[in-house]
Structure 1
């Protein structure tokens, strides 16, 4: 396996339409598929009202975000994992901008997942 740098890892995140976000909800781990966009150093997702993610972000919990692309027959691929705090998008101008850039898989509220500088170390991204 080859460790990947921050720039390549963020670029790989832009290449897949649906990934997974993991968080603790009511003391249990929860992993949900979400679509996203990478905006600079932020990963932006769209979630629906009443979701576990919205209740988790209300108190600033840490989330994990994972994306991959694997070819099981050829035994090659890559995976990227990002951890950070998820924070809601709070301005209407930001929300309007994200509505133009990302077609959500659901209706609801915009969330900026993993903040402005998500933790992304070479040890959490690899290519085989």
Structure 2
């Protein structure tokens, strides 16, 4: 067997994030579903988690909320589109996760919405969502999917002493 050279390892000084040996204690507070959905709607980006080739897959996407549903634009060849088409009229079960956690203070929140994802096929609705949601990608995002969350959970990370 041929000897493989060792790869250099990153030193602590190569890490751009602050490393703390003793982080301040944190408390986790469960969020009510309405509050969790409100927080999710307060930021423009999250991650959709769906099944591809029988394995979980996550993709970062931008979104808007519309009447409690999560709306995402994507392109025709996206794995999410083909999965949703294979799911038929009921769609496919997905999870949508978004968070806002400060790296230094380690305070913030995280929300997961789980529900059925369906393609939006009505041309008027597609046109409406295309005006509401401007994609961040240079790809032609002509497909729209709607996630109707059946389960919304979330946590808030706060300092153990209650200070934020």
* TM-score normalised by length of structure 2: 0.71
Q: How many residues align?
A: 123
Q: Check if 1:110 corresponds to 2:141.
A: no
Q: Check if 1:37 corresponds to 2:64.
A: yes
Name the structure 2 match of 1:126: 155
Name the structure 2 match of 1:56: 83
Contact (CA 8 Å) 1:46, 1:105: kept in 2 or not? no
State the distance in 2 between where 1:74 and 1:66 align: 21
Contact (CA 8 Å) 1:89, 1:110: kept in 2 or not? yes
Aligned pairs for 1:1-12 (under 5 A) are: 1-12=28-39
Alignment root-mean-square deviation, CA: 1.2
Q: Secondary structure at the match of 2:59?
A: strand
- Is there any run of 5+ residues in structure 1 with no aligned partner, and where? none
* TM-score normalised by length of structure 1: 0.90
Q: Secondary structure at the match of 1:119?
A: strand
Name the structure 2 match of 1:28: 55
Q: 2:99 aligns with which of 51, 68, 93?
A: 68
User: Where do 4+ consecutive residues of structure 1 move more than 3 Å?
Assistant: none
> Which structure's relative contact order is higher, taking Cα pairs within 8 Å and 6+ residues apart?
1
